[in-house]
Structure 1
């Protein structure tokens, strides 16, 4: 159970997100020093949304926040948010995520999310259902129009409503009022409270170690070559043993000869073992449901139906005992690189009933591969990349482990710039970064600058870390240019936010950095004027398109290039 220390750690993390935002966007209003709660609340929005935003950076996430108070402080314009604080669209998965946030100033062990918090959002849901947007303005209206267009399309969109707070206890999702909300709006309702947030906040853990006892018939050693002194192992492990060695209780992790397994029914997963897992923190997925169904209906089939788990340990010590009938193994500083969803689901299933540990989990087995890394971080990254590449996982997550991405992270750190390769990464508490940029955003900027195709930066994201990857990050890539890419982005964002007469859009920034690269000596405000004029004038087959639709047209980019040649030269 998360307690006061978790609450305090969250406060610190939220303040760091707030500080990063102030270094990225010039706020229209200043928050007084005695209103620390307002700073934490703003940081809380960003922290939670980054876990769902699939590589969106702080600028993108701030555009997804429709909360009236947030927009009043940051942008100087706060419209009625109709009870929804943020709307995140995932176009690839066709998911719409709606968020209602509550951030409490003081900790209480007995505090719970209130049912009424969800019904504050009913105005937003009513607007979706009736499609009546009279009086709705700004970002709130934009988000509703996009939701309504998605639901009216032929594509199947999933809507999930998240009730999020820093309170200790969740909202009661089985409440009849919540059931009514599900029935009316055909949406899924999920609750995020302090316990869940505690796991999301996991920093790089202290080394996690465990001891295990196997029947010799359940273990197969593997050596990379004959002269190697480092052994890896492929083993059949009982699910109950997997629970034990990944629990938060270090005493249980060392009790390899445990006789009474009943204490395992109440143990918690140490999320530190998943720190290097490329999937990040997943609230739920269809795979979790399938694994749980196998455990419930056919536990003996888990070994055959499941791909298993891949671990890597800095040290593995194994010795034969009882006349080599048994193998005692000690794994030091280990991480689960693949199979994190399997591990989480087994722990969740364990919590559902005290009998599950003895009746089910002690009777089924999982395939576990335990590799020795001998402290070689590159080996760890390669194992994680290649074992996960066989599963349904984004190419960006896979590439986050590649050596060139780690090199960019290390290079930019020299200039106090945090290069976030994974969601939720805001650096260690010992370093005060002046700026943050995500790996995905950096790739989008390279597509605009290096490939010269800003029209593809927003709608070809899925190709940046696949078919465009070598061209952008490897072929003729000069790491010393990374700082210039980030600075162009910072300068472009700041320039747009300092012009109250223009509307900021993510796609405009890709065009602006592209224009700055082609005409580095040209005044940035002139470039913005040219871009805005081109957006206003552009039409497609005598039809008026939205600004976002205009900027993904190749003909728009070609027309802009012609205007640039004429207007920049004339200036």
Structure 2
């Protein structure tokens, strides 16, 4: 259950995201702390729920009246929906209604009425009279036309969800027929997200998490690559009650080797610090989670056979046979679960669902647990995380988040006052530091792709950046010492576009990086004015518009030839 501590952590997180937002739109906010938190809250929760760490995409999807008034000085009616996120690749539409409270009330839950505010927008989308769309500014009008095509004349099956998001303590408690009618009327799913859920995906860098356990000798198998290897690993058949204990947020439970009363053991919940290095983010209400819970309840003794198991890494693992050789004492130092996070979450949720579940099911259910002590010198931790997750669809950028070169970038940028967010929700390793900039790993990859000679394709395939192009961009052709300057140039470009009163976009910012890589020795203002002039006079522009022109190989080749002629 969310508490005042979670509320304060979220406020701190929201303040950092407000700074991130300010950097990415080139605007210094002269607003109250409460308003800053509100703006940051929008960006943080959208990033998490949409699983998109590109801030420019997130900003573009927000149509909230107050948000756009504060950012762009434009005030217009949002008709009850605050953000519209469309993912064409996954055929998903996510609609959002936000509520941000400036104080915490542990007994306060969301109001059912907040969902019905959004019906005005949905009715507008489903209207036969599209002329009404033209009364709205471009940012809303474009989304109305897009949603109209998706909902009225769909060519494919789309998943449409309406999220009610707030920082209140509890999610909406009314599960009445009214909500079901709303979902049925518009053929959408309605979901509530409040602080109780948000606290689960706040990425806080954890303190070291240790645990001790005793297992029967016949349930443990040791493994090492050769007889001289210093790193020992273990594969074990472990009761789910032990998973509950060694990942508990109650340290006393994790460290205890004595039997713990089931009522006391049930009091703890998952310490999310053990999932910090898990490449898979929070998946709320997943069908796989439901299947795991169903197996626990209906066939607990077969759980071991039906579940893929859990993989954890530890900084150190000590194993000692106990007298009689019937049992093994295992001590784990600095645990991170790198695969099986959904299983661990579901075990804890299943326990919380009913106080009798521990006694009736979790003591009987067992799960396969692989415990590895990676050799830090050869980047084994990253390889274990990547390879044990690669069977399932996880974003390529997440699979690379633990790579040694990414960690090195993070450490080096931090020395220059820049936070490098390897994972969504991360805003720096130390909350007390006021970072000059925060840049996501995905955005940094796009910068490198532009500098690699593909500014026109920088935004088109993030997957390619972190798969087939990864070695070229981040390893072979990468100069770590240049990283701080590239980040500074990126944010200075955004800011300068705003100061010059010019309309910027991501492709324009990446073209500036491309010019810099080519060695064009002009001031930033001169680079911007040159790009704008060339874009305005290019023959493709009248037909395609700015973004499509910048994204065409013809334009990229033409501007390269023009620059080459000017500089020769």
Taking the TM superposition and a 5 Å limit, the aligned residue runs for 1:70-109 are 70-109=67-106
Question: Within 1, Cα distance between the matches of 2:288 and 2:389?
Answer: 14
Per the alignment, do residues 455 and 287 of structure 1 end up closer, same or farther by CA in structure 2, a change over 3 Å counting?
A: farther
State the secondary structure of the residue aligned to 1:161.
Answer: strand
Question: Within 2, Cα distance between the matches of 1:344 and 1:29?
Answer: 39
Q: Give the aligned partner of residue 536 of structure 2.
A: 533
State the secondary structure of the residue aligned to 1:313.
Answer: strand
1:442 pairs with one of 438, 441, 444: 444
1:430 pairs with one of 429, 432, 435: 432
- Check the 8 A contact 2:449/2:455 in 1, yes or no: yes
Q: Give the aligned partner of residue 2 of structure 2.
A: 2
State the secondary structure of the residue aligned to 2:514.
Answer: helix
**Which is further off, 517-526 or 395-404?**
517-526
Q: Give the aligned partner of residue 281 of structure 1.
A: 282
Per the alignment, do residues 569 and 241 of structure 1 end up closer, same or farther by CA in structure 2, a change over 3 Å counting?
A: closer
- Check the 8 A contact 2:275/2:338 in 1, yes or no: yes
Per the alignment, do residues 259 and 423 of structure 1 end up closer, same or farther by CA in structure 2, a change over 3 Å counting?
A: closer
Give the TM-score normalised by structure 2: 0.91
Q: Give the aligned partner of residue 145 of structure 2.
A: 145
Q: Give the aligned partner of residue 159 of structure 2.
A: 158
Q: Give the aligned partner of residue 128 of structure 1.
A: 125
- Check the 8 A contact 1:512/1:527 in 2, yes or no: no
Per the alignment, do residues 551 and 23 of structure 1 end up closer, same or farther by CA in structure 2, a change over 3 Å counting?
A: closer
Q: Give the aligned partner of residue 473 of structure 1.
A: 474
Question: Within 1, Cα distance between the matches of 2:325 and 2:112?
Answer: 59
State the secondary structure of the residue aligned to 2:324.
Answer: coil
Q: Give the aligned partner of residue 301 of structure 1.
A: 302
Question: Within 2, Cα distance between the matches of 1:507 and 1:127?
Answer: 32
Q: Give the aligned partner of residue 19 of structure 1.
A: 19
Question: Within 1, Cα distance between the matches of 2:198 and 2:378?
Answer: 28
Provide the aligned C-alpha RMSD in A: 2.6
Please report how far the alpha carbon of residue 386 of structure 1 lies from its aligned counterpart in structure 2 after TM superposition: 2.7
Matched, 1:68 2:65: yes
Per the alignment, do residues 530 and 300 of structure 1 end up closer, same or farther by CA in structure 2, a change over 3 Å counting?
A: farther
> What's the CA shift string for 1:534-555, capped at 9, x where partnerless?
578436xxxx445444443323
Please report how far the alpha carbon of residue 413 of structure 1 lies from its aligned counterpart in structure 2 after TM superposition: 1.7
Per the alignment, do residues 535 and 415 of structure 1 end up closer, same or farther by CA in structure 2, a change over 3 Å counting?
A: farther
**Which is further off, 465-474 or 546-555?**
546-555
State the secondary structure of the residue aligned to 2:491.
Answer: helix
Q: Give the aligned partner of residue 357 of structure 1.
A: 358
- Check the 8 A contact 1:300/1:365 in 2, yes or no: yes
Question: Within 1, Cα distance between the matches of 2:401 and 2:538?
Answer: 35
State the secondary structure of the residue aligned to 1:220.
Answer: strand
Q: Give the aligned partner of residue 45 of structure 2.
A: 48
| Structure 1, gaps ≥5 residues long | none
Q: Give the aligned partner of residue 554 of structure 1.
A: 553
Give the TM-score normalised by structure 1: 0.90
> What's the CA shift string for 1:36-93, capped at 9, x where partnerless?
2111111111221222354534344322222111111111113222222222333432
**Which is further off, 519-528 or 6-15?**
519-528
Per the alignment, do residues 231 and 56 of structure 1 end up closer, same or farther by CA in structure 2, a change over 3 Å counting?
A: closer
Q: Give the aligned partner of residue 244 of structure 2.
A: 243
